Amino acid sequence: MNYKIFSLIIGFTIWLLATIAFRVAGQYFFLTDNLFVLIGLYLAVIPFLGFVATWFFNKYKLGKLESAQSAVIMVLPGMILDTFCIEFFAKVFPNLPETDGATFGSWLMWAYATVLVFGLIRKDK
């Protein structure tokens, strides 16, 4: 399968699974009033998404340019769909306080930036 198509599939799948997790159980782990938990959530994204992105880049033997392209394609589905999730936060995530919407949006931007950085720092082999 073409790496661009698979990048899109991986990105959409991660977005879908994360959205379901927040919709079903976000109230148990997205604790914005607990600074240590919140910092942990920001930090946990780095190795998880870094591993997924690096695994993918290695699987397809992507060079620097292709890795950057792949990273952009991976984050696009989530960035587009999360625009609506943030706008309609209370309806999409009724289990989370509406006041968590800004923090959620910030965390999402951090996650997307993480994938993009891993695509950009990739070295040619």
Q: What is the pLDDT of residues 52-62, one digit of tens each?
A: 999 999 999 99
% of the chain surpassing 70 pLDDT: 99
Q: Quote the mean pLDDT of the chain.
A: 96
Q: What is the pTM of this model?
A: 0.94
Amino acid 10: pLDDT = 97
Helices (H), 1-100: 3-29, 35-59, 64-87, 89-92
Residue 1: pLDDT above 90?
no
